[in-house]
Amino acid sequence: MQRFSKDGRLIFPIHERENKELKHKEHKIRYVIQKAYCPNGCNIMDPEHKIHDVAGLRIKFKRPGVEGEFVISAIEGDFDKIILSGILKDGVKDDLYCPHCNAMFKILVNCDCKPDADMIVIGLTPKLDFNNAITFCNVTGCNTGTFVKSGDVIRHIRLDNSF
């Protein structure tokens, strides 16, 4: 596993996966995001910061008294991040924004990990389309969030009320 980016920044895995089911899923073919956009259409792919040899998604975060940026892996189910500025705290919710225009990412549904947790949406096309998007939880280290197409999330909610 790659520990440092090409410019020497530490790639910091927020939490270790110990669940056997998650380890089993890691051997499946994963979806890799090639294009990602904020609600205003800004490209948030960051080719300068690669995680596992893939350009990451650059995101700004804010919570009372703290602001910063990170790059998250563009590989489904991989929550490795490169912290560019600020401090992320495990189990803490952050509001997530576009690093270019400061637009707040839209919320698809609430996440079950915490009462105030949300599954935010990142578009795969410049014009936000909830059927062609990915979603993940805005709580650092959430083990119920994942990169999935939002239509799949909606289907899971309708079928069994879970992610």
For the cut 90, the answer to whether the pLDDT of residue 111 exceeds it is no
Whole-angstrom distance, CA of residue 96 vs CA of residue 88: 12
For the cut 50, the answer to whether the pLDDT of residue 161 exceeds it is no
- For 51-54, the CB contacts below 8 A with 24+ separation are 51/2, 51/5, 51/11, 51/75, 51/78, 51/80, 51/81, 51/82, 52/1, 52/2, 52/78, 52/80, 53/2
Tokens representing residue 42 in the block:
């800004």
Q: H helices within 43-87, ranges in order?
A: none
What is the pLDDT, as a whole number, of residue 75?
A: 86
What is the pLDDT, as a whole number, of residue 151?
A: 58
Whether the CB-CB separation of 109 and 161 falls below 8 Å is answered with no
The DSSP output letter for 158 is H
Average pLDDT of the chain to the nearest whole number: 81
State mean pLDDT over 71-86. Answer: 89
